[in-house]
Structure 1
């Protein structure tokens, strides 16, 4: 394993409600690019909000995250966590994806991640835990 692996977790809001076709097109492009540059991760979407984790070499993730922040398909990008990692937690996913429904039992205890209350504090560890629940 590389000594330069990093993991970045961020949240953002969609510029508009995405259709299934838009997701399919976006994910195909992301997965193809991520496979080329050695990035793995998971993207969750619910009611216009995203939580994503990306993993890879630091020299690849830094410019990729800059590009992500400038993508006009979303706004209010907030980096929750950036840390060095020994091994990937999403190594089998060039970009895993879940469009979460309100009644998904895996969401229990995590609903505040997707509410509109700007006063709540989101714990970066809990954000990663939510992503990991949908990985398995």
Structure 2
């Protein structure tokens, strides 16, 4: 196992509300690039907000995250966590995805990740736990 395997969790806001077709097109391109680069992860989208985890070799992930930060499809990118990992937690996903709805019972306890209250502190560990809930 590589000492350079990293995991990055971040949140951001969509530049505009994405339609299902736009999300599907975006995900197709992301999955193709990630598979070729050996990147895995999960993306959640709800009402114009994203939370994502990406995993891969450091020399691939660093420029990828820089590119993500410069992508004009979203803004307000906040890196919540960057850590070295022993093994991937999303190894079966070139980019898993869920378009979340308000009534999804799996969101219970996590809804503050998707509100617009700037006073809500986001715990990086809880952010990863939210992503893990949707891994299954």
TM-score, with length taken from structure 2: 0.99
Distance between the aligned counterparts of 2:59 and 2:79, measured in 1?
17
- Structure 2 equivalent of residue 19 of structure 1: 19
Provide the alpha-carbon RMSD of the alignment: 0.4
- Structure 2 equivalent of residue 86 of structure 1: 86
Distance between the aligned counterparts of 1:122 and 1:48, measured in 2?
17
- Structure 2 equivalent of residue 124 of structure 1: 124
Distance between the aligned counterparts of 1:46 and 1:92, measured in 2?
22
Within-5 A mapping of 1:1-20:
1-20=1-20
Shift of the alpha carbon at 1:2? 1.2
TM-score, with length taken from structure 1: 0.99
Distance between the aligned counterparts of 1:124 and 1:118, measured in 2?
16
Unaligned ranges ≥5, structure 2:
none
Distance between the aligned counterparts of 1:122 and 1:19, measured in 2?
26
Determine whether 1:62 maps to 2:65: no
Distance between the aligned counterparts of 1:96 and 1:66, measured in 2?
20
Distance between the aligned counterparts of 2:19 and 2:96, measured in 1?
17
Distance between the aligned counterparts of 1:111 and 1:21, measured in 2?
25
SS at match of 2:62: helix
Determine whether 1:113 maps to 2:120: no
Shift of the alpha carbon at 1:17? 0.4
Determine whether 1:28 maps to 2:18: no
Distance between the aligned counterparts of 1:100 and 1:20, measured in 2?
11
SS at match of 1:26: helix
Unaligned ranges ≥5, structure 1:
none
Paired positions, count:
136
Q: Which runs of 4+ in 1 moved over 4 A?
A: none
